[in-house]
Structure 1
């Protein structure tokens, strides 16, 4: 799978949809719910998230993998959690704004 900036993907096992914000440094497999994501236009097969990958993804949240450099934005929430090459990736924290005292 070629994860280009702005490319849209969806989970094969839940309602989650994602947009690539920053591509990985090397080819990787982006997964949601324990299954590789599919192109946004492709029909979703029947299935459900694997129990180990069912923590969910929140709409409007960014997820980043420090090892590969991949960053994605969740555009539609889903029951599956994100992983890269089988290792879970976490939600990216918001940047702290400077105090305006």
Structure 2
């Protein structure tokens, strides 16, 4: 059974670490599975005690207050609680959203 597509405003929690996120932008047609630390994320209200993240690939971590986007730029998550797991969308790691440069004021 697939989880329902995330909607803007949904709060999601990792089942393997302390990471929690809010969906800032979601694609209209639904998004692939959002996971953290290799396990699918669940609605924050249904998440119990977090287990330690699975050891693996690198020192990837979610950072509080940072925004993460998928490769297409259609899904955006805001991290509200830091954790040790890496955020992925459809099995592809999400990247840290960078700030847009301001125009020069010469």
Match for residue 65 of structure 1 among 60, 66, 70: 70
Q: Point out where structure 1 has 5 or more consecutive residues left out of the alignment.
A: none
Q: CA deviation at 1:29?
A: 0.3
Say whether the 8 Å CA contact 1:14–1:49 is kept in structure 2: yes
| Residue pair 2:34, 2:87 contacting (<8 A) in 1 also | yes
The residue number in structure 2 matching 1:26 is: 30
**Alignment TM-score, normalising by the size of structure 2:** 0.84
Taking structure 1 as the reference length, the TM-score comes to 0.87
Contact 2:17 2:50 in 1 (8 A): no
Over 3 Å counting, the alpha-carbon distance change for 1:38 and 1:53 in structure 2 is: farther
Instruction: State the aligned residue count.
Output: 101
